[in-house]
Amino acid sequence: MATVLYLVHHPTWTSSRIIDVLRSMGHKVELRCPPAGDPVPHRAAEFDGIVVSGHHWSVDEGHLHPSVDAEVALARAAVEEGVPYFGMCFGAQALAAAHGCLVQGRADGVAEYGFYPLHATADGAELFDGLTHVFQSHYQACLTVPEGGVLLASSEAFEVQAFRLGPSAFGVQFHPDARLDMIEGWWPDNEYLHHHPGIQPLAEQLADAARHEEAIQGWVERFLQQWLSDRH
């Protein structure tokens, strides 16, 4: 049984597809919420894996929120210490920022909020086989892949949708953690995205959620099994 640190960024964000699958695999999930005062460890090797979820704060706001810089440092430590790391949205941006990449929004303000096609690269084709659409909720993104990293997938609006750094550090700009039953509840919580061009109306999100739920669930199960397999 692995012990996986799972960082969330609001005290109520304690339910997710990733948590469900990790527990179903028999692993222990240790939830911490840094914005609520939970400590961010300095050493990644205290855990068998680290998952970092989305955030309403940005990776460049460490001067306002010290826990942001602590999470970026943890992403760097995970790579240095060889601990499997899986970052989603903010978590991916933290991994990129920890290795010198710029994270920012598009000049035209286009955001991705809803379901969008995922275009796997040749390096990501096997990993993302069968996964055609993913749920997004962001306006900022990694502009480049860290030096030595591998681009695994892109979207039409943002080139860096998924990347790998080393054997077991992965960043995805999308949200495989969002289950079908969570989509409607995210709509008011993400009101700050509603004015951005490019977002998908809620009714379309719900229709696409039902359409792609099975594929996303299957991908998460396969990915997490592979992600932790080299360590256990």
For 216, list phi and psi in degrees, rounded to 5. -70, -40
In sequence order, which ranges of 84-182 are alpha helices (DSSP H)?
Answer: 90-97
pLDDT for 12 beyond 80: yes
Match 């796997």 to its residue by tokens: 120
Look at residues 151, 142, 164 and name the one whose alpha carbon lies nearest to residue 120.
151
- Could you tell me which residues are beta bridge partners of residue 140? 105
Helices (H) and strands (E) in the chain, counts: 5, 12
Superfamily of domain 3-105+139-179+216-229: Class I glutamine amidotransferase (GATase) domain (3.40.50.880)
pLDDT at 231: 57
Condensed to tens digits (0 to 9), the pLDDT of residues 107-160 reads 999 999 999 999 999 999 999 999 999 999 999 999 999 999 999 999 999 999
Condensed to tens digits (0 to 9), the pLDDT of residues 36-72 reads 999 999 999 999 999 999 998 888 887 888 889 999 9
pLDDT for 232 beyond 70: no
pLDDT at 230: 61
Condensed to tens digits (0 to 9), the pLDDT of residues 210-223 reads 999 999 999 999 99
Look at residues 192, 193, 115, 122 and name the one whose alpha carbon lies nearest to residue 156.
115
Condensed to tens digits (0 to 9), the pLDDT of residues 151-195 reads 999 999 999 999 999 999 999 999 999 999 999 999 999 999 999
